[in-house]
Chain A
Amino acid sequence: MVSITIDNVSKRFGKTLALDNISLHIEAGELFFLLGSSGCGKTTLLRHIAGFYAPDKGKILFGKDDVTNTPPHKRNTAMMFQSYALWPHMSVAKNVAFGLEEQRMQKQEIRNNVSEALHTVKMAECSERKINELSGGQQQRVALARALIVRPRCLLLDEPLSNLDAKLRLEMRSEIRRICKEFGLTAIYVTHDQKEALSIADRIAVLDSGTVSQVGTPQEIYRSPRSKSVAGFIGETNFVPGTVKASNADGRVEVTTRHGSFIGRKASPAWEPVIADSVTLSIRPEAFTVSESNSETNSITGKLASLTYLGEIAQYGIAMEGDTLLQVAELNPSILHHPGEVEFHASVDPDDVVIINN
């Protein structure tokens, strides 16, 4: 268990700058997520930590230990590959034993450790099976056992659940968190799936075109996105452009938009709003409450253009003036509104309106 520091790391592949001066600090024992769309640099960063890439500039530290130029086999990280990378010419037990064999551990000891590790991931019965006889979920467990058995300084997970079906994914993600916490592992988890990140992360770094957009706990990232790109990437949201009308002493800001005026909170506490600043409001669809009538602030009125009924949620598309469409979600809807109804009203709490400085 070790803390990890990424210090101003940059990496260029040909003409593209894959990592642009990235700095991060990951606490010992933390389950840390790198989240972003494909091509944002998250896997590249993970492979730097594993040692498969060397940064063009910057440093990587494990605790106080500078590992920037340490080859992968001397880093004692354990990586779980997206493809699992289980060796098809070895049995399950052989795969799991590999790391310990490379450490020249006693045979008997290896055997005990292997059966214990397979037990941890609930695969004890399959130790003599061949890899191609396993299902996707079983392969995933073996890959996890193979990574855990070497007692790595940190566990690196590269989209470990992307090859599993939806139900198994839910089961495995809590399993991964359980095991990480049980072993007290520092773990870095790469994914593009925000639900995975929000549900089990201690902290999340959102990456965008090789830079870190925001680092924070799941709640911070979801409720207080600092930028449009973070707000847009995590969950669904409505962006409404506007200008600052007033800045109140309690930190609230009043904004004028074409759909009326809204009171909300600042995305970044450091920002000092000035009147007439151009801003963007981010309002999550589920933050709206469907209401009977219009009020002066923090509410919208428009024509109901679409309804998507998902059981637990009803999603409404509201056609506003000027051809904009706002999304409103109602949880556990008892009465459905159908397109064609003349007026549709919804209001939102100032706490749920995030004001992002453009």
Chain B
Amino acid sequence: MSKPIAYIVFIATAAFFALFFIWPIATTVEEAFIDDGQFTLDFVAHIFADPLYIEGLSNAFLIATFSTLTALLIAMPMALIADRYIFPGKTLLGSLVLVPLILPPFVGAIGIKQILGQEGALNILLSKTGLVDMSAPPDWLGEGRFWGVVIMNALHLYPILYLNITAALANLDPAMEESAQNLGATPWCRFRRITLPLAMPGIFAGATIVFIWSFTELGVPLMFDYQRVTSVQIFNGIKDIGGNPMPYALVAVMLGFSVILYIAGKHFFGRNNFTMTGRAAISTKQRKASPLVGMLCSGFFACIISLAIFPHIGVILMSLATDWYHSVLPQSLTLQHYSDALGHELTVPSIANSLKYSSISTLLDLVLGIAIAYVIVRSRIPGRNILDAISMLPLAVPGLVLAFGYLAMTREGQPFHFLLPEGNPTLILVIAYAVRRLPYVVRSAVAGFQQTSVDLEEAAQNLGATPLRTLKRVTIPLITANLIAGGLLAFAFAMLEVSDSLILAQQQPHYPITKAIYTLFGALGNGHFLASALGVWSMIFLAITIIGASIALGKKLGALFRV
């Protein structure tokens, strides 16, 4: 790659990041700390003086801690099993395990409420067997539905940990454990003293993402109507955003916490990034489980998967129910809600809007991702590692923070007000979606370039193909699978994006699906059912996209997620 082109790409992407990543964060922070041109800590101090905000922060912290722990508890044994054993149905189960990641969690919240709520299906079922007294039913979701939020977060986010831990374990040299075994260490001792410490950087990387994600998650607590958490407090603060600096201060505090957490974690766990010297063949490590153990492994995976999709099964039932109250299952089924949902003035435009925003942002991601990955892998310019690092940053910054920043920078009178012409959020939403999901595309494109030998590109140039033709005829076709995988993740996440969508789309004609679901859910009458039906519609869309792409690729579903 020629140096001038590399520098142009570098400068262009750096400028994009400066404008749409640094700038919005800076604007938010500025609002939080500047009053009448003067630096002030008053707003932040005010937060720590207000018991309501303190409670919100501590709840967010607790939610994040318990969500991460629960997700770890689910993901760790699965990853260990997948790393060690070959068991029946492993390929299929190994792919399905990742599906919850793209199931919209705040839609699942509807289902969980219906099943685990005080008057929900579980209590009714238990009361029929006499275990539960319906006059004083147990509250499975906890006070203010705290546990509901935790369960939903954990069931949604454990695949991130699973992916990170399996990757970390796969990189371990089997000889590490074998030598411990050879020296007489018991299995538990090997796990505690060898495997766990060596896999720690991977576990930590995943746990950080899960923690920050659930710390700032907006959609799930909102659907549970769990008000006493910072993210919801910020969201509610938007209504009077004009003069009120408190939401900004809250966002700044949240950002501060996330960054401190990230740095602290990196300091304690991430420092020793053990590089493995040689690797033995993987086949020596994975062994076929005996029929009984194999059944147990398959059973365990199947259990977790059904548990993870069970909120969404609740949603599907809900969307089909004529009425579902005080009964284990809906009394009777109907397709009425689907046709009603399609007839509603909110739904069809919202689907169209989401498809439009998501596909344009995915295209933008692909262009940026290929360019950035090309510079990172194929050029030798000095700044390429910095580019690599900054393109990963959106993973560490809460979506809520960015959404707020975009809101602030497009207000009237701000230089970027033109991105929100007459309240039409198309441009700013496309940019917001693209920035948030760029890391997935960059990672997958980088992996693609790294797997593709430079020789293959040079051979094409050597035979007379210009650099652009080489990219088109050799490089892109060879990394298509990676690009589709990264692009699909970006698209799926954009379709289900909550923070940006709820905050930036403020006029009904421009609502994306998520905001439409949220609005319908709060509507009186059959709102719950319509929201569920729309939720199912969106899941169907996602399923079609992903299955279609996997057929087009001629690959198994799972390969799409192994970015």
Contact = CB atoms under 8 A, between A and B. Distances in A.
A83 interface: yes
B463 A78 contact: yes
B507 interface: no
A50 B464 contact: no
Contact of A83 (B453, B466, B467, B469): B453
A82 B458 CA distance: 12
B462 A98 contact: no
A77 interface: yes
A85 B463 contact: no
Interface in A53-94: 71-79, 81-83, 85-89
Contact of B456 (A52, A87, A103): A87
B478 A88 contact: yes
Interface residues of B, number: 19
Contact of A102 (B453, B458, B463, B477): B463
Contacts of A245: none
Nearest to A75: B462
A297 to B, nearest CB: 54
B143 interface: no
Contact of B478 (A72, A75, A81, A89): A89
Contacts of B477: 89
B465 interface: yes
A317 interface: no
B455 interface: yes
A82 B455 CA distance: 9
Contact-residue bracket for chain A = 20 to 34
Interface string A109-126: 000000000000000000
B15 interface: no
Nearest to B464: A102
Contacts of A87: 456, 459-460, 474, 478
Nearest to A99: B463
A255 interface: no
B456 A79 contact: no
A146 interface: yes
B455 A99 contact: no
B461 interface: yes
A85 B453 contact: yes
Interface string A23-64: 000000000000000000000000000111000000000000
Interface string A127-165: 000000000000000000011001000001000000000
Contacts of A74: 464
Contact of B464 (A81, A82, A85, A150): A150
A256 B458 CA distance: 55
Contacts of B456: 85, 87
Nearest to A80: B459
Contact of B462 (A50, A89, A103): A50
18 contacts: A50-B458, A52-B458, A52-B461, A71-B466, A73-B461, A73-B462, A78-B462, A78-B463, A83-B455, A85-B455, A87-B459, A88-B478, A98-B460, A98-B473, A99-B464, A103-B464, A146-B463, A156-B462
Interface of A: 50-52, 71-79, 81-83, 85-89, 98-99, 102-103, 146-147, 150, 156
Given A73-B470, A87-B460, 10 more contacts: A52-B461, A71-B461, A72-B462, A76-B464, A85-B455, A86-B459, A87-B459, A98-B460, A102-B465, A102-B469
